């Protein structure tokens, strides 16, 4: 970079977050915190079977119980159209979504909702749930992805024929779809390779593990208006889905975003909201529903597990010349695994001429998957980054050197279609190579692994409003639920643009009646897209402030410039006027045309793709298989860190979740397809003492599309850890593990096998 970085007053500083005091004092209102007069408690009846026909549901005993005010089944839900609707980074079929909210005719996984009740107390609601009698005809089930693809596997949907293949198959199967991305000619590529490595890998489904369970309060009025308060990653998404499922005009639904206790993609769909609305509408009273942790595990989405084959070829001098991958990804009970993004991202960190990726979207009798940080990418890039390591070892080249040699850069054609603009893959590898960490010697039973990762990032619809108050303070409204400190970042960008004190700007995430449509808080888009809307709205307010000064000074608006938070004459030719501050102009607003504001409603384009490279040191206890993560460094191109603490937090959180994915997280089913570890005791996310301090290095290659250079940062950091840990374990033990998680029993078993 030849250009000197521009000096900012607020951007890049570590301001105090506007929501912090409420959160640390317990005042913040999360999904379950609202209480309304006359409010009922809603509870759900769940399927005990992994696959069964619902023969009958008898709700009479529950309805007769004193204190029960409403009972619903699928008969209370309108029949949904199979219309695709955007859900996070995937599309979802409303009929499938409806079946996942409440089962009609058939249950497809243990834990699926079959009925719901609302009663005056939780205790009565629990008793009512126990009184609902459901008669099932149990069907054979299938859990594993490869087993679900066999010819004799139980078929979940008799109307599902594999898409993306020609001719259309004649028999229904569990393979929903086939995708393919190709570039160049892999056969010619492999023919030119001196070294070819081909390996199979598997990963298990993993849950997002947010601390706050799903929670909602719904209040349906007799005139058809509906108010919903809930914890979600998009209150507009909730409005879209509730309107679509219950066939209500969007204008009649107001959704207020509660504070959110984590989501990581898992709150980009609805589970309880439509049920709470139906129960409220049937009982005529507000209804609160809150999942238990067990329900979160049994009935809310993890991301896919997968089986895959990765093949890569390179020449002796370390040039990767061909890449081939086949991915089989679990979608859960309905189609919609992130196989598309998994296929598109698989080899994206590398500049390779010949690439082919084929992916399959496969249903089985388990929870419907939903987005989880960089959906699909950690899975495919795990296999690829392990093979890159094997190539490096075979070629006798340092693994970071091999990555540097083949790194994608500006102008690289990616197999998924785009030609990259300014990107920072090369810089993240170089920064990793330069760390003291990478050069530090290791002890016995210790190993070091590295891995890189790529994610697209997205833009999308966002709106913002800037209102200059009578005293010159600033109210900022937008509609992206704040999941990672975005209110602070929005206020910082507004303060920087307007030239006022950050602490004079109050940011609010407002309800669906108070702002325009926003796409979900997901895809690492909020600081980029909503940030662009905030800057555009602030610039609109600045234009209005300049116009007001022009009016006061009786000059043309072109004669007024905005600098350091003040209107100033553009030159001495305009006249000799004292600069006017925001507060000065606000005080005179009623004489110059009324309230001053700026608004922007945008569909942001040009999200900058981002890359990261991680270094992980582990020690493996050869006798117990216990893996200790000794040291970890995450390097990432973040474009521009608006609030560095929250950006570092994203890198650290992603690394922590990726380490859990690599080492211990998995779903354990019994022979009947029932989940055995529906809780944090036996579904093992890392606890604080399991992790070292995660060091972070922020590389800033500004995204030219964004006024401050922002790239999304939230998803890339969960991609490299799986392979970084796997490569470190391979280095420590001399054994390559091809399956995640690398839990202690799995490590001991594999090492015993290898002698």
Partner 1 sequence: MSGMRYEAPNSVDEAVKLLADANGAARILAGGTDLLVQLRAGMIDPGVVVNIKNISETHGIAADGGAFCIGATVSGAEMGEDAALSAAWPGVVEGAELIGSTQIQGRATMAGNLCNASPAADSVPALIAAGATCTVVGPDGQREVSVADIPTGPGQNSLGNGEFVLNIKLPARPANASDAYLRMIPRTEMDIAIVGAAVNLVLDGDGTCTEACVVLGAVGPKTITVADAAAALVGSKVDEAALAAVAAAASAAATPIDDKRGTVAYRTKVAGVLASRAAAIAAERARS
Distance CA 239, CA 72 (A): 21
Minimum CB distance to partner 1, residue 722 (Å) = 17
Closer CB to partner 1, 29 or 668, in the complex: 668
Closer CB to partner 1, 64 or 668, in the complex: 668
Count of residues in contact with partner 1, rule CB under 8 A? 24
In the window 106-135, what residues touch partner 1 (CB under 8 A)? 123, 126
Scan for tokens 């209804």, then name that residue. 287
Distance CA 46, CA 584 (A): 61
Residues whose CB is less than 8 angstroms from the CB of residue 644 and which lie 6 or more positions away in sequence, other chains included = 12, 13, 14, 698
Residues whose CB is less than 8 angstroms from the CB of residue 281 and which lie 6 or more positions away in sequence, other chains included = 220, 226
The reply on whether position 664 binds partner 1 by CB under 8 A is yes
Residue 244, sorted as left (phi over 0), alpha (psi -120 to 50) or beta, turns out to be: alpha
In the window 210-269, what residues touch partner 1 (CB under 8 A)? none
Residues whose CB is less than 8 angstroms from the CB of residue 681 and which lie 6 or more positions away in sequence, other chains included = none
Burial category of 16 from C-beta neighbours within 10 Å (exposed 0-12, middle 13-18, buried 19 and up): exposed
Closer CB to partner 1, 8 or 680, in the complex: 680
Minimum CB distance to partner 1, residue 15 (Å) = 31
Closer CB to partner 1, 552 or 751, in the complex: 751
Closer CB to partner 1, 540 or 748, in the complex: 748
Minimum CB distance to partner 1, residue 111 (Å) = 16
Q: At what angle do helices 720-733 and 644-663 cross, to 10 degrees?
A: 50
Helices (H) and strands (E) in the chain, counts: 21, 30
Task: Choose, by CB under 8 A, the member of 471, 682, 704, 754 that binds partner 1.
Answer: 682
Task: Choose, by CB under 8 A, the member of 135, 668, 672, 754 that binds partner 1.
Answer: 668
Span interacting with partner 1, options 19-27, 607-615, 649-657, 675-683, rule CB under 8 A:
675-683
Span interacting with partner 1, options 191-199, 258-266, 348-356, 684-692, rule CB under 8 A:
684-692
Distance CA 609, CA 458 (A): 8
Span interacting with partner 1, options 160-168, 437-445, 601-609, 661-669, rule CB under 8 A:
661-669
SS3 state at 232: coil
> Which one, of 434, 468, 748, 738, lies nearest residue 615 by Cα?
434
Minimum CB distance to partner 1, residue 753 (Å) = 11
What x/- string results for residues 586 through 625 when contact with partner 1 is judged by CB under 8 A?
-------------------------------------xxx
* DSSP character at residue 320: E
The reply on whether position 684 binds partner 1 by CB under 8 A is yes
In the window 692-751, what residues touch partner 1 (CB under 8 A)? 743-745, 748-749
Closer CB to partner 1, 67 or 499, in the complex: 67
Closer CB to partner 1, 302 or 714, in the complex: 302
Task: Choose, by CB under 8 A, the member of 95, 626, 674, 738 that binds partner 1.
Answer: 626
What x/- string results for residues 364 through 403 when contact with partner 1 is judged by CB under 8 A?
----------------------------------------
Residue 273: beta bridge partners? none
The DSSP element (H or E) to which 740 belongs, if any, is: none
Q: What would the two tokens of residue 474 be?
A: 């600033």
Closer CB to partner 1, 467 or 684, in the complex: 684
> Which one, of 400, 384, 330, 309, lies nearest residue 352 by Cα?
384
> Which one, of 638, 544, 637, 635, lies nearest residue 582 by Cα?
544
User: Which residues of the chain form contacts with partner 1 (CB under 8 A)?
Assistant: 123, 126, 623-626, 663-664, 668, 676-677, 681-682, 684, 686-687, 689-690, 743-745, 748-749, 752
């Amino acid at each position: 970079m030849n250009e000197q970085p521009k000096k900012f007053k607020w951007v890049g500083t570590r301001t105090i977050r506007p929501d912090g005091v409420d959160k640390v004092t317990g005042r913040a209102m999360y999904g379950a915190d609202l209480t309304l007069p006359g409010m009922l408690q809603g509870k759900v009846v769940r399927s005990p079977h992994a696959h069964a026909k619902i023969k009958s549901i008898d709700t009479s005993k529950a309805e007769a119980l004193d204190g029960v005010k409403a009972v619903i089944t699928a008969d209370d839900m309108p029949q949904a159209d199979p219309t695709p609707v955007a859900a996070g980074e995937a599309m979802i079929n409303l009929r499938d979504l409806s079946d996942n909210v409440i089962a009609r005719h058939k249950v497809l996984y243990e834990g699926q909702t079959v009925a719901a009740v609302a009663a005056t107390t939780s205790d009565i609601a629990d008793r009512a749930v126990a009184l609902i009698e459901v008669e099932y005809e149990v069907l054979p089930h299938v859990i594993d992805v490869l087993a679900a693809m066999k010819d004799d596997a139980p078929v979940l949907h008799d109307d599902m024929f594999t898409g993306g293949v020609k001719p259309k198959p004649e028999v229904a199967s569990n393979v929903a779809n086939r995708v393919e991305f190709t570039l160049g000619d892999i056969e010619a590529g492999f023919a030119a390779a001196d070294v070819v490595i081909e390996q199979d890998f598997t990963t298990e489904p993993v849950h997002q593990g947010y601390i706050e369970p799903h929670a909602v309060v719904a209040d349906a009025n007799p005139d058809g208006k509906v108010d919903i308060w809930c914890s979600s990653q998009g209150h507009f998404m909730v409005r879209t889905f509730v309107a679509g499922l219950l066939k209500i005009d969007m204008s009649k639904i107001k959704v207020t975003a509660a504070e959110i206790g984590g989501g990581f993609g898992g709150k980009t769909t609805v589970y309880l909201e439509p049920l709470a609305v139906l129960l409220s509408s049937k009982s005529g009273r507000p209804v609160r529903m809150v999942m238990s942790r067990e329900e979160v595990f049994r009935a809310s989405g993890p991301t896919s597990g997968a089986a895959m084959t990765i093949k890569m070829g390179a020449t002796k001098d370390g040039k990767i010349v061909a890449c081939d991958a086949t991915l089989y990804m679990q979608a859960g009970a309905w189609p919609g695994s992130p196989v598309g993004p998994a296929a598109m991202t698989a080899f994206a960190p590398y500049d390779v001429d010949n690439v082919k990726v084929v992916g399959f979207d496969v249903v089985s009798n388990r929870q419907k998957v939903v987005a989880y940080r960089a959906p699909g990418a950690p899975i495919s890039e795990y296999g690829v980054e392990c093979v890159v390591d094997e190539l490096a070892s075979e070629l006798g080249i340092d693994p970071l050197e091999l990555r540097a040699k083949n790194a994608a850069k500006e102008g690289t054609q990616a197999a998924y279609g785009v030609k990259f603009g300014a990107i920072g893959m090369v810089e993240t590898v170089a920064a990793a190579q330069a760390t003291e960490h990478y050069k530090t010697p290791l002890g016995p039973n210790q190993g070091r692994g590295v891995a890189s990762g790529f994610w697209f990032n997205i833009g999308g619809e966002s709106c913002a409003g800037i209102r200059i108050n009578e005293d010159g303070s600033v109210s900022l409204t937008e509609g992206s639920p704040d999941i990672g400190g975005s209110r602070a970042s929005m206020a910082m960008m507004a303060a920087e643009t307007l030239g006022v004190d950050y602490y004079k700007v109050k940011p609010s995430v407002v309800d669906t009646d108070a702002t325009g449509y926003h796409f979900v808080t997901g895809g690492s888009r909020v600081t980029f897209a909503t940030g662009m809307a905030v800057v555009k709205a602030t610039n609109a307010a600045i234009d209005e402030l300049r116009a007001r000064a022009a009016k006061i000074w009786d000059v043309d608006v072109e004669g007024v410039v905005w600098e350091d938070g003040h209107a100033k004459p553009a030159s001495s030719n305009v006249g000799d006027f004292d600069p006017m501050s925001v507060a000065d102009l606000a005080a005179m607003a009623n004489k110059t045309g009324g309230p001053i504001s700026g608004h922007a409603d945008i569909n942001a384009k040009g999200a900058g793709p981002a890359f990261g490279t991680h270094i992980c040191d582990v020690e493996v206890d050869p006798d117990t298989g216990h893996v200790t993560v000794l040291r970890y460094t995450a390097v990432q191109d973040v474009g521009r860190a608006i609030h560095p603490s929250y950006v570092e937090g994203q890198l650290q959180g992603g690394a922590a979740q990726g380490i859990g994915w690599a080492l211990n997280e998995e779903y354990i089913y019994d022979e009947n397809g029932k989940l055995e570890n529906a809780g944090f005791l036996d579904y093992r996310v890392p606890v604080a003492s399991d992790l070292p301090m995660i060091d972070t290095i922020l590389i800033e290659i500004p995204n030219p599309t964004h006024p401050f250079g922002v790239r999304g940062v939230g998803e890339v950091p969960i991609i490299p850890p799986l392979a970084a840990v796997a490569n470190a374990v391979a280095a420590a033990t001399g054994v390559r593990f091809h399956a995640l998680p690398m839990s202690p029993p799995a490590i001991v078993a594999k090492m015993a096998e290898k002698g």
